[in-house]
Amino acid sequence: MDKKAIPLPKHLSPLQQIGSACSGAVLTSVFTTPFDVIKVTLQARQKNIVTNPVHSIRCVCEFCLCNVAVPGVGAQRVSISSTRALSGTWSTFSNIVTNEGPLQLWRGLSPALLMSVPATMIYYSAYDILLEKFQFTDNGRTNYALPAFCGGFGRTLAVVTICPMEIVRTKKQAQPHYRYVELLSMVQQAVHANGVKSLWRGLFPMLWRDVPFSAFYFVLYERLKTHALLQGRNVKKSEAFLFGATAGSIAAVATQPFDVVKTYWQVEVGDNLASTKRVPMTSMMKRIIADHSWRGLFVGVVPRVSKIAPGCAIMIASYEGSKAFFHEFNQR
């Protein structure tokens, strides 16, 4: 057997599947957080949220619920033209590094790490267990609807579980001047004012973003993997890396509009406790198109693809490699 090939593991214990799923979670989070920070910063600026380490300027755009006022600082309408200089991925990166310091590219890493382990554990383990239980390949016939269902179901469980922590991470990346204690206090006040449902604000665009992403991702990944297996060989580590990056990139572009809406909703949590109204997702999208054209729905797509492509590649290669390790371990 080619030492660089990944065998097709079967009959792993649930604990081994969980261990395989978690093996690349930390590495992926550390590597991809800077891209996530740039993406959220671009999306928050489009929403006209302006923050700096000294004070905040209250956003009064028509569809925004933000109300981050500071004594002595009047409410101001932030013009879109004033943020155009920082609208690009590279200029945003340069601005963060120059004005806030390189370490600010990893803001929100703590909640990201807290999210990644349970999310990855639930997501990949549920996918693998269901795929094996319902027999992806039966009597030589491959059912590609099954990886779509298993991937979507596993992602749904993961998203519902981590949504409260995702709110904290998004707010930290969009509004870095807040400390974690202050962010948690804002979330707590939002729960007191609007109920426990505040912890799952942005859940629906997250599901619209992540469930189709996962379904598409795993169908494409399994097709690529099956193509290699039909040639009478196992999947190489380099191929698993490439398959994961390709599938993740295409799925990321297709689901980007929902990521923009998710950011819009979650940065609002705790900023205006008096308001319980939420702009419907379709109305939000229409308003974004009216204000920024169709490009507004794809703001941040470059850093998101830059994050997801290597992230998926690292995760799937690590996952498959860990499963292969446990498979060989079980045969000893």
Summarised one tens digit per residue, pLDDT across range 17-38 is 677 767 778 888 889 999 999 9
Question: For residue 111, which of 45, 170, 27 has the smallest C-alpha distance?
Answer: 170
Distance CA 105, CA 41 (A): 10
How many other C-beta atoms are found inside a 10 Å radius of the C-beta of residue 295? 12
Structure token digits, residue 272: 């205006």
Local confidence pLDDT in tens for the 332 residues of the chain: 444 444 444 566 767 767 776 777 888 888 999 999 999 999 988 876 433 333 333 333 333 333 333 333 333 333 333 344 345 888 999 999 999 999 999 999 989 888 888 888 888 888 888 888 887 655 556 778 889 999 999 999 999 999 999 999 999 998 888 899 999 998 898 899 888 988 999 999 999 999 988 988 888 888 877 877 777 766 677 777 787 788 888 888 989 999 999 998 888 776 654 455 667 888 989 999 998 999 999 999 999 999 988 888 888 777 777 777 877 777 77
Model confidence pLDDT, tens digit, residues 154-213: 999 999 999 999 999 999 998 888 899 999 998 898 899 888 988 999 999 999 999 988
